[in-house]
Each structure stands twice: as structure tokens, then as C-alpha cells.
Amino acid sequence: MADPKNEGFLTYAYLLLYIALSSGQIFFNKWVLSSKEINFPYPLALTLLHMVFSSVVCFVLTKVLKVLKVEEGMTPEIYATSVVPIGAMFAMTLWLGNTAYLYISVAFAQMLKAIMPVAVFVLGVAVGLEVMSCKMLLIMSLISFGVLVASYGEINISWIGVVYQMGGVVGEALRLIFMEIFVKRKGLKLNPISVMYYVSPCSALCLFLPWIFLERSKMDDHGSWNFPPVLLILNCLCTFALNLSVFLVITHTSALTIRVAGVVKDWVVVLLSAALFADTKLTTINLFGYGIAIAGVAAYNNFKLKKEASRDPSDASELVESTQRQQSQPLTSR
């Protein structure tokens, strides 16, 4: 029988690992893309490399070394009608989200991401997955008001960056809706490793086509093919390690713990970015607005957890899977 103390220690270790890797990956991407640091302003290329790396590593781990298992049940029909649209939205989310870092600070981008539950809920109502109620309307209004206040307090606001970030939010909301419609309704249960295995190649293809037309010529003209390979590999490894940490957290913790860890990670990113990046200038209005938005997100999480638990309290695995689908940020760009 497992020692409860050891299990508790491992749970906290996995949570700290997830928070560290998730925050670190965001900072790493910003550092690579920033013109003041590495000077690799090609978010499409960077995201494409992440997807290609994940595709190759997933294939090696599952099919060659066979140290990880991919969930069975995938058919060509399900892949074409479910994985392809999910992969396309995933690619859109990562591309636009990383592009936003060229124009706005990490902290402000994180504040804008707090609007995610609103986008998911509105789209869910539109397709019949959610039902509008006075309580949910109040929660959505609270989150929206908080994000507006945080935006008002931003000193160096770039509307181009805001548009890119909001586009990424819409793409992620659509991905989550597609996961709910195409995967859950077809009875296909996928763990994070399986999602990476199936979705990464599709996302890579979706990113490759626009990269050819939008960034390849710029990279050729500026000689950006000399990007340090060691740094590139480390960035990709950090991305893959983040996905593995998500897998560990989901399999060893509760749904509530995962959501609390997500909120803690958001605050870590906002506060640390002010110390790490010169373009981040936090104001009292920024933090006040973000605090309001996070309070709304916490209320939303609590409402969804109670709703899921009331359906079948004994089915803990379904509750955790639901939490994974509703996480506010894509796995490989957290």
C-alpha cells in the first residue's frame, strides 16, 4: 500500500513542476521572439518547430521505444472529421498567441487570456452545449469587466497585439468546443499523450502552409536560418516536458487542484514577467482589473466543477478529463 505522505509529496512535486514548466515556456518563447533578446521574430516558424518536434518525439516514444501508450479507437473517419479541425484550431491558437508577444507584454497577454471562459461559454451557448443563466451571465460579466479594467490600466497598449491575442483566444475556445463535440460525443477518450500524438502532425501541416507564404522569404532575406540549434532544441524540449507534466498532474491530482494550480501559474507569470522583461510595466489598475477577472474565473471553475460532480459524483476520471478540456491555454504554449 502506498504511503500517503509520499503520495502527497509527489502531488506537490508534479504541481510545482507543471507551474515551473508552464511559466518557463511562456518566458522562453517571449525571450526567443523578442527583438531585444534572441531576435527571432518568427512565431510561425517557432510554433511549427514545436509541432514537428512533438510529432517526432511522440512517434519515437509510442511506436519505437513503446514506453508510452496511445489510446486506441482512432479511425480515418474520426481523424478527418475530428482531429483535423481540432488540429487546425490548435495551430491557429499557438500561432496567434505567440505572435502577440511581438507587440504586447507577457503580463498583458496573460491578462487578456482571462477572457477565455467567456469565449468558451458564448460559443457553447451558440452550439447548444451550454445554457445561459443569470448566475453565468453575472460571472461572464465579472470576467469581462475585469479584463476591460486591466486593459484600461495598460501603459503601452498595442491594439495589433490585442487583436492577435483575442484571435488566439477565439481559436482556443473553438478547439475546446470541437473537443467536446467531436471527441466526447463519439465516445473517444484521449489522454494528453494521445492528443499530442494525433494532433501535432495535423497542426504542423496547418502551420507549414502559411509559413511558406508568410515567413520563409523573410527568414531567407535576414539569414535567420543561423538560429542557435542548442537553444532551439532546449525550447522544443521544454515544450514537450510541459506536456508530460500536464499528463502527470492530470493522472495524480483532482480536478479542483488542477484549476487552482492554473490560477497560481497565471499570477506567477504576471508578476515574474515584470521583473524579467523591460516591456512589462504593471500598474495598480492592471492588477486590480486582473484580480477581478481571476475572481470571475474562480467562480466559473467552481460552478463547472459542481455541475460536473452533480452529474455523476463517482466518476472522478470524467471530471478530470472535463477539466483538461476546459484548461484556458493550449498545452504547448502555456
In a domain, 143, yes or no: yes
In a domain, 202, yes or no: yes
pLDDT given at position 51: 94
pLDDT given at position 230: 83
**CB 147 within 8 Å of CB 166:** no
Q: Give how many domains the chain has, as a whole number.
A: 1
Of the pLDDT bands very low, low, confident and very high (cuts 50, 70, 90), residue 219 is confident
% of the chain at pLDDT higher than 70: 86
Is the pLDDT higher at 229 or at 326?
Answer: 229
pLDDT given at position 322: 47
Is the pLDDT higher at 313 or at 237?
Answer: 237
In a domain, 135, yes or no: yes
pLDDT given at position 86: 92
Report how far residue 80's alpha carbon sits from residue 173's, in angstroms, rounded to the nearest whole number.
20
| Alpha helix (H) residue ranges in the chain | 4-33, 43-59, 76-78, 84-100, 106-113, 116-127, 134-152, 159-178, 192-214, 216-222, 229-252, 255-276, 284-311, 316-325
Q: What is the pTM for the complete model shown?
A: 0.85
**CB 312 within 8 Å of CB 136:** no
Minimum mean pLDDT range among 3-17, 37-51, 208-222, 233-247 = 3-17
In a domain, 3, yes or no: no
pLDDT given at position 254: 66
Report how far residue 119's alpha carbon sits from residue 89's, in angstroms, rounded to the nearest whole number.
14
pLDDT given at position 324: 45
In a domain, 84, yes or no: yes
In a domain, 89, yes or no: yes
Of the pLDDT bands very low, low, confident and very high (cuts 50, 70, 90), residue 169 is very high
Give how far the C-alpha of residue 2 lies from the chain's centroid of Cα atoms, to the nearest Å: 33
Give how far the C-alpha of residue 42 lies from the chain's centroid of Cα atoms, to the nearest Å: 19
In a domain, 331, yes or no: no
Give residue 46's domain range.
Answer: 41-222+277-305
In a domain, 322, yes or no: no
Report how far residue 156's alpha carbon sits from residue 175's, in angstroms, rounded to the nearest whole number.
30
